[in-house]
Each structure stands twice: as C-alpha cells, then as structure tokens.
Amino acid sequence: MPDIERWPTGRLLSTAARLVEHAWDENLRAIGLTHAGVIALEVLAATGPITQTTLAQIVRVQAQTMGQTLSRLESHGHVSRRRSSEDRRVHVVSLTDAGRDALERAAESERQVLAQVSIDTSMFRQELKTVVRELAGRQAPEGDSASAPLASAALED
C-alpha cells in the first residue's frame, strides 16, 4: 500500500468508505440484501405498511427503481406486497418477520465490520455525522434538486 501518511483527508475518507462498504456488501449478500434493500426495510420498520409509491418518495428514488428493490426483497421473503382494497392499482408494502430478522442481521453485520477497527466507533460515528450535516448544508445550493436528498438525509438520524 502506498504511503498513506501523505494522503489527503478526502482520499483517506473515500478509501475507508469503500473498504467498509465492500466488507458490508459481502455480509449483506449472505442475508439476501443490498444497501437499497436495507434502506427500504428501515423505512418500513419505522412507518409500518405503506404504498410502494410513498416508499419510493420517502427513499427519494423512482417508482420503477423501488419496484426492482421490492421484487428482490419479496423473493427473499423480507416484504410482502398486496393490492390496496381502496385502489387495486396501488400496492401496499409490509415488512415481514423475515424482513425484521434480516434488518437486525444487517445492523449486526455493520457493527461487526466496524468492530474489526481499533477505534472508538461510537465517537467515529458522531464525527462522521457532524461532517455530513455541516457539509451537506453548505453544498446544497438553492434549487439544486440533485443534492437535496443528500442534504435532507444528512440531517436525519
């Protein structure tokens, strides 16, 4: 590995993020999840059953993209979709018991990945949230819809 002592902070941060994400991706695959799937399950755990359209809006993705994510989750038994009794064109999505278990396993997987690093992960998380909150607020020029999801996501949690 090149001399990381000379790397700029941005390179250290992006390299660390890629390494953590790669390790977490491997663990998620074993559970039958992706990052997008985890996000959808987290929203469903917080909201309860909601329409597929509403879920896509909350996550800030296109309905078609959400449909693909939900198809994968449904094939693993993590969610169920049923037609709305009020409007047969609308699908209501619910988290299953298997989905709750998968979400817990995903959270544990993330903890295990970070436990391999000899740092105070709680403090590290707080510092990262500070970076995201402060930089997201500065980098979202008025009317910039592309950065709006990042800025609002940074302010949640």
- What's the pLDDT tens digit per position in 15-66? 999 998 899 888 899 888 999 999 999 999 999 999 999 999 999 999 899 9
What is the per-residue pLDDT for 45? 97
55 vs 116, more confident: 55
24 contact partners, CB below 8 Å, separation of at least 6: 35, 109, 110, 113
Residue 33 tokens, joined: 């999840």
d(CA 94, CA 133) in angstroms, rounded, equals: 31
Residue-level pLDDT at 85: 81
User: What is the predicted pLDDT for the residue at 111?
Assistant: 87
Note the pLDDT of residue 113: 87
Residues 136 and 128: their CA atoms lie apart, in Å, by: 12
- What is the DSSP-derived secondary structure letter of residue 140? -
> What is the rounded distance in angstroms from the CA atom of residue 24 to the CA atom of residue 41?
16
